[in-house]
Copies of this chain bind each other. A is one copy, B any other.
Amino acid sequence: MLRRTGSCSKPGTKACREKQRREQLNEKFMELSSVLEPTRTPKTDKSAILDDAIRVVNQLRGEALDLKETNQKLLEEIKSLKAEKNELREEKLVLKADKEKMEQQLKSMAVPSPGFMPSHPAAAYHSFLSRKLCFSIMRACQLE
């Protein structure tokens, strides 16, 4: 692209304005080329610049489409992961409630009612064995 840089010989002439118009067009060609290839020295071939522009726009459009599709799938995966997580949390809560209920029951068993007193030596010994058993259960149930 030859460039007779500089202003017109006779300002106001039609030829001059036509020259300015060409210069503006060429500046836009350069700018487009710079945008298309931010790294390299801009091309000076108008046909090549137009070809590149067509190619790049199509390529970027496809890329954006792919990325949007991927985004959509990732969002769906997140949605399902959150659902699974909530399900696990609920199941965990149920199990925890079960466990606490069992512990509560065992604790109340370990402390007998005040009026309950074995009157016979054999009964007292049996009661001792029962309470010993209950504590061992509690130990087993608390699990560290």
Taking a contact as CB atoms under 8 Å apart, the answer to whether B50 and A60 are in contact is: no
- Copy count, this protein chain: 2
Please report whether the interface of chain A is mostly helix, strand, loop or mixed according to DSSP. Answer: helix
Residues from 42 to 74 in A contacting B, C-beta threshold 8 Å = 46-47, 50-51, 53-54, 56-58, 60-61, 63-64, 67-68, 70-71, 74
Q: A117 vs B4: C-alpha distance in the bound complex, in angstroms?
A: 119
Q: A54 vs B123: C-alpha distance in the bound complex, in angstroms?
A: 98
Interchain Cβ contacts under 8 Å between A and B, 12 examples: A53-B57, A60-B61, A77-B78, A78-B81, A81-B85, A85-B88, A98-B143, A101-B140, A102-B141, A106-B137, A122-B123, A123-B126
A positions within 8 Å CB-CB of B: 24-25, 28-29, 31-32, 35-36, 46-47, 50-51, 53-54, 56-58, 60-61, 63-64, 67-68, 70-71, 74-75, 77-78, 81-82, 84-85, 88-89, 91-92, 95-96, 98-99, 101-102, 105-106, 109, 118-120, 122-123, 125-127, 130, 133, 137, 140-141, 143
